[in-house]
Structure 1
Amino acid sequence: MADDLNKGLEGVLVAESELSSIDGDEGRLIYRGYAIEDLARGASYEEVVYLLWHGHLPTEEELAEFADAMAAEREVDADLLETLGQLAAADAKPMDALRTAASMLSAYEPEDDADPADLEASLRKGRRITAKIPTILAAYERFRQGEEPIDPDPDLGLAANFLYMLTGEKPDDVAAETFDQALILHADHGLNASTFTAMVIGSTMADIYSAVTGGIGALSGPLHGGANQDVMEVLFEIDESGKDPLEWVEQATEEGRRIPGFGHRVYNVKDPRAKILQERSEELAETGDPKWYVITTTIEEYLTDEKGLVEKGIAPNVDFYSGSVYYQLGIPIDMYTPIFAMSRVGGWVAHVLEYQEENRLIRPRGRYVGPEDQEFVPLEER
């Protein structure tokens, strides 16, 4: 029925897309027909972004040209870096700093006067945004630590270059591959809140900077981004308690505590992205501190085997393992959601441009439930 109320637009179809598909009952995620497992284990983030933007996996020549074009766009203007330094001095939250910087990027856009209906120009703008966000985030973190930003290295891929700009050291192969894989897993995920926000903005034919800035704003909310930070804070609590992880989770569940990283709006089984990151967490544990892997697997086994949460449709989501993976890569926990944005911008750009190909302003209705026939009283008589 046209007048049915669907809070949160749950179950409401608003668009068709060729970009990604989620089967929440089977635990399956595909990008343009490719299983996320195959892409995560066999492709790079740049390949996946190319796939989302151009509709096919690139050849070696296409990938080299695309990666070079992305690398050439990584540097940001000195004025923007100065602003980031000021935001760091003011102790701004990383997502607030990212939102401000993403909007500011439009001031330095060489094609600023391009028609918003010129989708090729918008795609080039999207490429610039995607290339510059890692530089922005790494520079902001360096400023927070009282250090100068590190210039991007054009010889490194996007994932490895970010870790290099963040830490000042080129990552080893395991770290670079792990982070690249994490970016792939977060690149797109249907019409989630931030993607839909970007699409709504794009449907007005606002520019791609506005759409991406809106996506960042939506992602900053705790009901969308941020769960992986919550997971890591729980892992810290368990570690500092001195208790055995099993003892801790038993007591926590008896007290009615909710364990972050479990449950998803779409998945009723274990998130396929969580399975992949669990593998990477185990691999990192072999060369680093194994306690984070031990704690997370202990919690999962208890909630799965003893509490039967999966049978109730509550299973580990991608955030449950991404937090500890990021931590083992040396990434501060309040940077986890900004990194989510760094990855998801590829999907935001893809969805906005796909929708604009056959654009229709997104304008849902709201049901009025307020009073009727109120009698107006002039100001002097109230």
Structure 2
Amino acid sequence: MNNGLEDVIAAETRLSDVDGEAGRLIIRGVSLDHLVTHATYEDTAALLLDGFFDRPISVSELKVQLGRARAEVFANVQAMDAMLEKLPPVDAMRALTARLADGEDFETALRLLAAPAVFLPAVLRLRKGETPIAPNPSLSQSADILAMLNGALPSKEQVAALDAYLVTISDHGLNASTFASRVIASTKAGLTSSVLAAVSALKGPLHGGAPGPVLDMLDDVGSEAHAETWLGEALDRGERLMGFGHRIYRVRDPRADALKDALKPLVATGQVDRDRIRLAEAVEQAALATLKERKPDRPLDVNVEFYTALLLEALGFPREAFTGVFAIGRTVGWIAHAREQALEGRLIRPRSVYVGPLPQAAA
């Protein structure tokens, strides 16, 4: 028995392969490096969903249908009330998603892909006392998200940056939320139920809740000159350095470099605070050197959370919404895994080992 199911193989999948030793991620036979350079969100969604529904999926068709689905699910924003507005954004988003009908068909999948993209910007605007903005079905998923969030059409660099993020985190093996999605799918409960289970797993701070604290760390460090001292003191207190280390990767997380590259056009065009980026790069270098010195036997490198925080901050998302943005990108992976499990797998029913007391023998 392995606690946490460490190294236990629980499924065969055609969707993604995470090679932690080599620092490589393959999604449906395509390397992350190629995808993040050449693919939009819609390209990646079509790639992941292909073959799991009763129709071929073209990118052009998906873009049109996804735009219509965003317009359809926006009607649920009217269900927002004061109680939902007070919830953390990911919880409010999950509550609105729970209003969607369950099913296994492609239309259900489209609504679930559209839902977080529409609900999260609406929730964030309402929390600021602003009116939610209706989707524009003619825009791409990334462009529409940013338009609904910020109230203006985004630049091409901003759209490309969000596309890069959504592509980068679209799928990543049998992580906690994806496994939750497959467990629910194995019961034939439906795609909405699978996605709700996955969101519930994602919101846990050990899974999808860590990018925000990266910014807290940068705020506390304050300046490049203070980076080494602050990091050393944090390790002396036994604290974890946010954005470093990963359960699977023994080397640098390939998604970190993909997102670092996605930030460069925003920096080059002055759409991001260059001082913030310079501080982050100084913290990165100081942290890697400090970790190598303090923990030479542990392979601790930059993970996806470090540059996720900087990219999402640059695009105008508040840090309390980062888990919700993660859900926007990962939902397509959850749906693909749920369909793969429902079509090809069995009811997931592992065994447990009882370690409690035994009944006392009669005297």
Aligned to 1:322: 308
Q: Tell whether 2:33 aligns with 1:11.
A: no
RMSD: 2.1
The question of 1:222 aligning with 2:205 is answered yes
Indicate how the Cα distance of structure 1 residues 307 and 79 shifts in structure 2: closer, same or farther if over 3 A, else same. Answer: closer
Is the 1:26–1:269 Cα contact (8 Å) retained in structure 2?
yes
- 8 Å contact from structure 1 (residues 105, 209) kept in 2: yes
**Cα 1:79/1:266, change in 2 over 3 Å:** same
Q: Secondary structure at the match of 1:179?
A: helix
Paired AA for residue 8 in structure 2: V
Matched residues in 1 for 2:113 and 2:195: separation? 10
Give the Cα separation in 2 of the matches to 1:42 and 1:302: 32
Hey, what does 1:289 align to over in structure 2?
A: 273
Change (3 A) 1:85 1:174: farther
1:172 & 1:76 partners in 2: Cα distance?
26
Alpha carbons of structure 1 residues 136 and 87: separation in structure 2 relative to 1, 3 Å: farther
Distance of 1:8 and 1:71 partners within structure 2:
39
Counterpart mapping for 1:294-305 below 5 A: 294-305=278-289
Q: Does 1:96 align with 2:91?
A: yes
2:159 maps to 1:176? yes
Shift of 1:254: 4.0
Does the Cα contact within 8 Å between 1:39 and 1:184 map onto a contact in 2? yes
| Partner Cα separation in structure 1 for residue 30 and residue 296 of structure 2 | 26
CA-to-aligned-CA distance 1:232-269 (integer Å, 9 cap, x gap)? 11112223x79633343243334443211111111011
- In the comparison of the two structures, how many residue pairs are matched? 354
For the Cα contact (< 8 Å) 1:75–1:132, is it kept in 2?
Answer: no
Amino acid in structure 2 at the alignment position of 1:342: I
Deviation at 1:334, TM superposition (A): 0.6
SS at match of 1:30: strand
Change (3 A) 1:216 1:306: closer
Whole-angstrom distance in 2 between the partners of 1:157 and 1:47: 11
In structure 1, the partner of 2:44 is 48
Instruction: Tell me how far apart the structure 2 counterparts of residues 80 and 191 of structure 1 sit (CA, whole Å).
Output: 31
Cα distance in 2 between the residues matched to 1:266 and 1:82 = 41
Determine if the alignment matches structure 1 residue 84 to structure 2 residue 80: yes
2:261 alignment partner in structure 1: 279
**One-letter code aligned to 2:136:** D
The residue number in structure 1 matching 2:112 is 129
| TM-aligned CA deviation for residue 353 of structure 1 | 0.3
**What TM-score does the superposition give when structure 1 sets the normalisation length?**
0.87
Q: 2:280 corresponds to which letter in structure 1?
A: T
Corresponding letter in the other structure for 2:346: R
* Residues 192-211 of structure 1 aligned to structure 2 (within 5 Å): 192-211=175-194
Structure 1 residue aligned with 2:140? 157
Q: Check conservation: 1:270, 1:310, Cα contact below 8 A.
A: no
Question: Once the two structures are aligned, what percentage of the paired residues are identical?
Answer: 36
The answer to whether the aligner puts 1:348 opposite 2:334 as a matched pair is yes
Larger C-alpha radius of gyration, 1 or 2? 1
Note the alpha carbon deviations across 1:192-230, whole angstroms, 9 max, x for none: 000000100010000111110000000010110111011
* Partner of residue 39, structure 1: 35
C-alpha separation in 1, matches of 2:60 and 2:83: 35
Tell me the distance in 2 between the aligned counterparts of 1:213 and 1:68: 25
Q: TM-score, normalised by structure 2?
A: 0.92
* Aligned 8 A contact 2:232 2:290 in 1: no
State the alpha-carbon separation in 2 of the partners of residues 72 and 13 from structure 1: 39
Match of 1:191 in 2: 174
The verdict on how the C-alpha distance between 1:154 and 1:310 changes in structure 2, with shifts beyond 3 A counting, is: farther
Q: CA deviation at 1:332?
A: 0.6
CA distance 1:243–1:300, change in 2 (3 Å): closer
Name the residue aligned to 1:233: 216
Q: Which runs of 5+ in 2 are unaligned?
A: none
